[in-house]
Amino acid sequence: MEPPKPPSERKPANPSPKWWTAEHASAWERVRATFRRDWEQRKSKGRAELADAREAWEQAEREARYGFAARARYADRPEWNPDLEDVLQSEWDELDTGTPWESARTGIRRGWEYPHRARSR
């Protein structure tokens, strides 16, 4: 068994893209508890998109947090589309989260769509 890495070598729990600001962090903190409650309800109901038992809140939050902030960052792109996805994938890969884009894509999109869903309730 490999010994744990010293803190200086560990990846941050929630790495942030280069454009991340205190405003993005503040916006996420305002919706974080609500997002988590929604996530836990969907998870407990066994929804197909969250049925993977390996998905932990920490991973779901990392993906949603990025998608949520990206919605504000790319406000000039109101719809999820292949061009936007290419940009987000490139940034996600740069963050080196340890989760490949294909595994994170659904969670990132969930975060991207969250502000829109919250307003339409």
| Residue pLDDT, tens place only, 16-75 | 899 999 999 999 999 999 988 888 887 777 654 554 544 588 888 999 999 999 999 999
How far apart (Å, rounded) are the C-alpha atoms in residues 20 and 18?
Answer: 6
Q: What is the mean pLDDT of the chain?
A: 81
More confident residue, 100 or 41: 100
Residue 51 has what pLDDT? 46
Which pLDDT score is estimated for 46? Answer: 66
pLDDT computed for residue 41 by the predictor = 83
What is the model's pLDDT at position 43?
A: 78
What angle in degrees, to the nearest 10, is found between the helix axes of 57-73 and 101-119? 60
Q: Can you say how many angstroms the Cα of residue 102 is from the centroid of all Cα atoms in its chain?
A: 13
Instruction: Spell out where 1-121 has E strands.
Output: none
